[in-house]
Amino acid sequence: MNILVIGLNHKTASVEIRERLAFNGPKLEEGLLAIRQLKGVNEAALLSTCNRVEIYASVCDVMTAAEAVKDFISGFHDIVRPEFEKSLYVYQSEDATRHVFRVSSSLDSMIIGEPQILGQLKDAFEFALSKKTTGVILNRLMKKAISTAKRVRTETRIAENAVSISFAAVELAKKIFTELAGKSFMLLGAGEMAELAARHLINNGVTDVKVANRTYDRACELAQDFCGCAVRFEDFVHELVRTDILICSTGAPSFILFRDQMQKVMKERKHRPVFLIDISVPRNIDPEINKIDNVYLYNVDDLQEVIETNILERKKEATKAETIINEEVEKFAHWAATLDSVPVIVALRQKADDIKREEIERFRNRFPDLDKDKMEAVENLANSITNKLMHNPTVALRESAEDREMITIIIKKLYGIDGEDEE
């Protein structure tokens, strides 16, 4: 039995190809069930996201199954193989296991450390389980992939350090204020990125929310979404006195907040710290404001520098994660290797049990007058001897990876286990 992974992702295929090969909606179930029926495929699971399409399978012969899967993709999506085949990667055995573990741990993602892929892999596994397309091999592989990802997140800092503008804004706010609960926040403008940052701040404990916009109706609409209050655009400077965090994204062609205005605000605030995030392009907040004590002003470029630094930190943590994955791949490979020994172990145990039953029956016929307790003692003795005799051969078959083939041949020869018995 072998593990096969065939897929493509954002590194190997264009958006157009990924879209054409995606298994969306009813195509997911239809595709998964069809893959399971392909020649040489014993188990199957299917992962389809905006960044990747991957087919996981337990197969008898890798080449046969791989060709069948490629032909299926071509026919199912009505696309000739030369159009997509160069974008595919094909992994088997330990390479396949390593790839799945790297995917679940987000080392193969567009953004290293992002959490979404683990949830998507879990969903793909649960869907395959519900359709009964997986078995012993893929069930173990997927569960191990999930536990490996959790281990990576526990033992490394790969998921820490913001790598998006909105998260970077929240991370900086935490450094300035330590605790965001109870802090006041104003959203100035209604850019998509600014709104996302606002939601992250609210999720991190900010409760006093104000929204100012040139279109007051839009301010009211957003304020309702954020459970806050609307502020007329011309009043936003006055409201800064009662605001700890400001995110500005108005689309104005020039500055709308100047140094002299901010100096007056800080005097009224009694110089309590304030965090200003200007993600407008061009900038809407005068950079001279940053020279005022207890005013912390960041623009898009500043946030981008934070992100780039954090990406480097995640890459360092990814090295640690690779070590964890290598350990888990080795453990899985050891488990998979023992599967080859299972039929021999079963046959060996059956042989021993048959001999034991024959001898007990012979003993019972020889001494028919033995009472129940004494006969039970004889049976217990026979069980104990059998178990002890079977222990070492069984352990050798399970654990002696390098010599397993030779040990298997010897045990089959010694105990008279032929191919039919093993099956």
Name the residues annotated as catalytic: 50
- Taking only Cα atoms into account, the Rg of the chain, rounded to an integer number of angstroms, comes to 32
Sign, Cα dihedral of 79, 19, 6, 129: negative
Sign, Cα dihedral of 156, 159, 165, 166: negative
What gap in Å lies between CA 291 and CA 230, rounded to an integer? 30
- DSSP assignments along 336-369, one per residue: HHHHTTHHHHHHHHHHHHHHHHHHHHHHHHH-TT
To 10 degrees, what angle do helices 404-415 and 372-399 make? 150
Closest CA to 276 of 252, 253, 254, 249: 249
- DSSP assignments along 26-77, one per residue: HHHHHHHHHHHTSTTEEEEEEEE-SSEEEEEEEES-HHHHHHHHHHHHHHHH
Q: How far is CA 285 from CA 247, 356, 397, 412, in A?
A: 10, 88, 72, 82
- Between the two ends of the chain, the Cα-to-Cα distance in Å is 15
Residue type, 37: Q
How many residues can be counted in the chain? 423
| Cβ neighbourhood burial of 136 (10 Å; 0-12, 13-18, 19+) | middle
What gap in Å lies between CA 314 and CA 310, rounded to an integer? 6
Q: Tokens at residue 78, please? A: 């009505």
- Contact between 45 and 124 under an 8 Å Cβ cutoff? The reply is yes
- Contact between 350 and 403 under an 8 Å Cβ cutoff? The reply is no
Calculated CA dihedral for residues 144, 150, 156, 162, nearest 10 degrees = 130
Helical H runs in 367-403? 372-399
Q: Give the contacts of 14 (CB within 8 A, at least 6 positions apart).
A: 87
How open is the CA angle 385-388-392, to the nearest 5 degrees? 150
